[in-house]
Structures are given as C-alpha cells and as structure tokens.
A and B are shown apart, each in its own frame.
Chain A
Amino acid sequence: MSSELKPRPTRDGFGEELVQLGYENPKIIVLSADLEDSTRAEYFKHKFPERFFNVGIAEQNMVGIAAGIAREGFTVFAASFAVFLTNRAYDFIRISVCYNDANVKLCGSHVGVTVGEDGATAQCLEDVSIMAVLPNMRIVCPVDYIEARKATRAIAQEYGPFYMRLSRAPYPIITSPDDEFKIGKASVLENGEDLTIISYGITVSESLKAAEELRKEGISARVINMSTLKPFDREAVIKAAEETGAILVVEEHQKINGLGSMIAMFLATSYNRFVPMEVIGINDEFGQTGKPYELLEFYGLDYKNIFRVAKELLKRKK
C-alpha cells in the first residue's frame, strides 16, 4: 500500500497509458464522441492526431466506425462518458462490436455517484450489468491510477471486445507498479478469515478502511479487488466462500444484475454449501447532485456502512 500518494482519477491512467501504447503500436486508433478532454483520450489526440477522430456527439456512429476499423486488423479504443457509451450506443455494441467480435475497447469514464455535481444523467450505475449480458464482451474496472495503466495495456494486448469502467473521481492509490495485473484474476489486498469483502472501483478503498475498523474489533476481513468483472475470478470467490464463510459485495453500481448478482448466482449454482451473503450497492434508483464523498456516504458505499453491514452479516454466519 502506498497510501501517501495523491489520489487520482483512473481516467488519467487510461489517457497516459494510451499514449505509451500509441508509440509502441501503430495499429491503435482512438475515437471519441467529443469528450476526449474529460476521458483523457485527448492525450493521445495531441500525440497522434492522424490516428484520432472526434466523431462529434454521435456515440452510435463512433462505435460502428470503431467496429469497422477493428475488423480490418486494428485495435480501436472508443471513449466517452460511460452513460452515453454503454446506453446510447448499446445496440451498436451488441451487433457491430460483440456479434462481429470486433477488437474494440470501449472506455467509459464518469462512473458511479462519485461523478458528483453533474447528477443522475451523468452518473453511470448500470454499465456493468448491461455490458455483462453481451456475449464476447469482457469487463475490467481498474481500482486506481496505477492499475488503470496496466488494465489499458492489458486490454490492448488481448484480442476482442472489452469495456473498461473509468472514473472522474480521484481514487486513492492502493496498488503499486510492481503488482501483477491479469485479466480475469482478482487480487487479495487484505487477508482475513471471518468474512470476505469483494469490491471494484472506488469502494475497494472504502472496503479496506472498513476492514481496518473491523480489525479493531477483532474481526478479520479479507478484501478482494475484483478488477475483472467479466469473467470474474471464480476461484477467488470459491476460496473466499470456503475459507471465510461469508461474502459481502460492495459496488458503486445498481444491485440488480451487478457483481453481487453474478456472484450470488455463481455460488448458488456451483457451490455446495450455503454462504451468507450481502450486497451493498444502489437500490434501483437514480443518483443525484452532491459532492462525491457526500454521495458515497448517502448511498451507503462508505467504509462506515460497509463496517456496519459486515457485522450484521457475521451474525448470519453459522
């Protein structure tokens, strides 16, 4: 843990690594729907203007063009706000990208209520569930700036459609450059035996804080950063169930069809014992205007609520 480092938005890691990739690989093309300043895709634009297009405010066309270029052997990144990218262009993602198995990397920034003041329309809370149901699609959500750089590189190097979930809000730095990042592999940030907290994105650092508070009360919580949401690390989940006997999923995302749902279904259908489980997420409602941490707290995604729910969950553990 290198907590003394200044928190940074994961979009920064994306933007910076993309430039590096641009130098290394002439077959990388980047498209933006007029939000490259916000997504940080503009770093690439400044270095490689001939391989960059701002398509205008036209997400469907952006995704379709991305698929067309990709089918010709290129690696295409298409970036916008997560809300517009995944929702507005959904049918294009489904057919032009996924059904065509096009090598397109969809990068959506501004996820979760921690977008803050822009309010409900800009706060993407359903992207994981709607991307997860698409065949061929894989989903990653880097936990900090450092992991965002690695994730950007990893998805560029792996063929096929990807969706990467990125933040506007600064995320605390909790990984180090030497940590391994592998698509499909979770990382255990804190070991524990009494329960496991599984999370992704900004709520991972809140989960770590909650684990710290729990430890003060003699409870040892394992904390897992599930940075690949599809396919998520099934082995890590089974191990958590086996070794800690209780699972709490925390996500800055709708609870319906989020990671909690996917893990619950997996355990119910693939694991022979009952594991008490709880999910903290958004309860089927839109976000609202506010300061990022104010909203995190209001929606129960902060460490204090994670701490409280974890203790409740333990009461259900036999």
Chain B
Amino acid sequence: MIEQKLSVKELKRLATEIRKKILLMTHKANSGHPGGSMSLVEILLALYFYKLRYDPKNPKWELRDRVVISKGHATPAVYAVLAKAGFFSEEELEGFRQFGSKLQGHVYFEVPGVEFNTGSLGQGLSAGIGMALASRYKGIDFNVYVILGDGEIQEGSIWESVMFASHHRIDNLCAILDYNKVQENGFVNEILKIEPLKDRWESFGWNYIEIDGHDFDQLFEALDAFTSNKGSGKPTIIVANTVKGKGVSFMEYNHAFHGRAPNKEELEKALKELDGGDNV
C-alpha cells in the first residue's frame, strides 16, 4: 500500500527521473520505445503514487487493483515506475532487453507488478474486462486500469471490447488512453483518424473524461472521478492528452523515436535538457 502520498512537487521531480531512466534504458539496450514511454510517465506515477491499491512486497495480493498495459511496448516507463514503486530493485533495470533478464522488450508477467503479457496491440482491454468480471465472481471489489495507446484503438478488437464493457455495465474498469498523437509512421489522425473521441466513446456508453495527461492535479481528479462513477454501470475512459517524447525538444511529436533509442549524442543532449527543464 502507498504509505504516504507524494506531493506534486515531488512527483514532478520523479517524472524527470523516470524520463532519464527511459532514455538510459533504451540507449543501453540500443532498442525500445522511448517516445510512447515518455508520454506515459505522469499517468503511471499518478496511478502508482496516488491512486492504486497494491503491495509491492506482495504483488499477487488478492485485493490489489489490476493494471493491464495494453500498449505493451511502453516497458521502459512501466519497468522504471514499478521499480520506483518497490516491486523490484532499480539495479534490475540494467537488464532491460538484455538476454537472460526478465525485463523483456514487451511487458512480461514474470516481472513483479506486471499483470498480463501484451505486445500485440488491441488485446489488453479484453483481458482487463475479464479481470473486472472476475472481481464480480470473487466478490472482491478491485479496480482494473487498462493503458491504451492512441494508435492502438485503430485495432477493431478494441471496439468489440468497448461494446462489451458498457453492455455488461462494467464500471470497475477504467481505460486510460495515452493520446500522444503520434504512431510509428506519423500522426495518428493523419494515418487513420480516431477522432471524434468524445462522441465515439460516449455513444458506446462510456463515461468520458478528457484531461492534460502531464498535469498531476488533473490526473488525480480524473482518477477520483472514475472511482466515484462506480455504481453508474458505465465503464470510464480517461483520454489523457500527452506529448510523444515529452520533455526532450527533438523527441517531442517525433515519430522517429516511437521505436528507436537515442544514440550517445542524442542521449547526452536529452539528459541535459531534462536537467534544465521546468519539471525540476
């Protein structure tokens, strides 16, 4: 359980620290997905240091909230935050994407804190629904959070799940869309438009919340709005407007860094920028 909630100021400092880790991890592995990890940092910190019920010493605790990382390539951010939350030591991050390490390229359930293996987009929401239903069968009230990528919702299977969740009134389910606007080959809405998001999700019967996904106060408020919405029968979608590659000027909104690690020169430049950034 979270013993003591961190102040927003402390969380901002943590966000910078996590972003540096993302850069260092992907640089060392000479592979990975830094862009969509940098966009996800505040979302994950808000979950693990504000909202979630969990015990890092007992990752399978029956009462824990479940988190499914459907955009399974966001491992640099996910592993760095899980280590920070105490699920495993930060030294283990050194093994990211290395042979013999549990820290596989895409989220892997042998890593403490990882609930479900993904990596093929469009699957995590179904799994999250399954877990939310299991909470009913078990008579244990936990919440299920599913982290979606924006490009990911181009997968048709997502909309099968979206229909199912509202039809069956699964209101202990919260999808969080990391709306960083960029996918592997360019801008999401130029490749295949996912807008209008509000109309689409609301017409599918979801409780729709849209926020700035880098603003902790807005994240806290949205996450609390989800839990106070329980009982309504509606699943919740939080559309978190974010910036791909957030925090480093030449990575922001740059699709080249969707699936490419920074080289040595880029790394040094990026770290310097983060050190001087307003998140400090």
Closest residue of chain B to A57 (Cβ to Cβ) is: B160
A 84-103 binary contact with B (CB < 8 Å = 1; else 0): 00000001101110011000
In the complex, what residues of B have CB within 8 A of residue A235's CB? Answer: none
Contacting residue for A68 out of B109, B130, B156, CB 8 A = B130
Asked whether A65 is an interface residue with its Cβ less than 8 Å from the other chain, the reply is yes
Inter-chain contact B126/A71, CB cutoff 8 Å:
no
Inter-chain contact B126/A70, CB cutoff 8 Å:
no
Contacting residue for A64 out of B127, B138, B156, CB 8 A = B127
In the complex, what residues of A have CB within 8 A of residue B130's CB? Answer: 64-72, 76
Asked whether B149 is an interface residue with its Cβ less than 8 Å from the other chain, the reply is no
Closest residue of chain B to A91 (Cβ to Cβ) is: B120
Asked whether B143 is an interface residue with its Cβ less than 8 Å from the other chain, the reply is no
CA distance A66 to B128 in the complex (A): 10
Instruction: Using A74-B134, A94-B120, A96-B123 as known contacts, say yes or no to A61 and B128 having CB atoms under 8 A apart.
Output: no
In the complex, what residues of B have CB within 8 A of residue A92's CB? Answer: 123, 126, 157
CA distance A55 to B129 in the complex (A): 12
Asked whether A60 is an interface residue with its Cβ less than 8 Å from the other chain, the reply is yes
CA distance A266 to B132 in the complex (A): 43
In the complex, what residues of B have CB within 8 A of residue A169's CB? Answer: none
Inter-chain contact A64/B137, CB cutoff 8 Å:
no
Asked whether A63 is an interface residue with its Cβ less than 8 Å from the other chain, the reply is yes
CA distance A61 to B164 in the complex (A): 8
In the complex, what residues of A have CB within 8 A of residue B68's CB? Answer: 68
B 149-175 binary contact with A (CB < 8 Å = 1; else 0): 000000011001101100010000000
Inter-chain contact A60/B157, CB cutoff 8 Å:
yes
Asked whether A210 is an interface residue with its Cβ less than 8 Å from the other chain, the reply is no
List B177-227 residues whose CB lies under 8 Å from chain A: none
Inter-chain contact B126/A100, CB cutoff 8 Å:
no
Inter-chain contact B126/A60, CB cutoff 8 Å:
yes
Asked whether B118 is an interface residue with its Cβ less than 8 Å from the other chain, the reply is yes
A 45-60 binary contact with B (CB < 8 Å = 1; else 0): 0000001010110101
Q: Is the interface of B mostly helix, strand, loop or mixed?
A: helix
CA distance A56 to B127 in the complex (A): 16
Asked whether B111 is an interface residue with its Cβ less than 8 Å from the other chain, the reply is no
CA distance A67 to B135 in the complex (A): 14
Residue from A56, A68, A94, A100 whose CB has the most chain B CB atoms within 10 Å: A68
Asked whether A29 is an interface residue with its Cβ less than 8 Å from the other chain, the reply is yes
CA distance A60 to B124 in the complex (A): 11
Instruction: Using A61-B126, A96-B127 as known contacts, say yes or no to A68 and B164 having CB atoms under 8 A apart.
Output: no
Q: How far is the CB of A82 from chain B (nearest CB, A)?
A: 20
CA distance A100 to B68 in the complex (A): 12
Contacting residue for A95 out of B115, B123, B125, B132, CB 8 A = B123
Instruction: Using A61-B160, A100-B116 as known contacts, say yes or no to A29 and B126 having CB atoms under 8 A apart.
Output: no
CA distance A69 to B135 in the complex (A): 9
Q: How far is the CB of B143 from chain A (nearest CB, A)?
A: 14
CA distance A67 to B119 in the complex (A): 15
Q: How far is the CB of A55 from chain B (nearest CB, A)?
A: 6
In the complex, what residues of B have CB within 8 A of residue A71's CB? Answer: 115-116, 127, 130-131
Inter-chain contact A65/B127, CB cutoff 8 Å:
yes
A 122-138 binary contact with B (CB < 8 Å = 1; else 0): 00000000000000000
A-B complex: 6 closest residue pairs judged by Cβ atoms: A68-B130, A64-B126, A72-B134, A61-B160, A68-B127, A58-B160
Apart from A65-B129, A71-B130: 15 A-B pairs, beta carbons within 8 A = A56-B160, A56-B164, A60-B160, A64-B127, A64-B157, A65-B164, A66-B130, A67-B116, A67-B127, A68-B130, A68-B131, A72-B135, A72-B137, A76-B130, A96-B123
Can you list 23 pairs linking A and B with CB atoms under 8 Å apart?
A56-B163, A58-B164, A61-B157, A64-B123, A64-B125, A64-B126, A65-B126, A67-B126, A67-B127, A68-B127, A68-B132, A69-B133, A69-B134, A71-B116, A74-B134, A74-B137, A91-B123, A92-B126, A94-B120, A96-B116, A96-B123, A96-B127, A100-B116
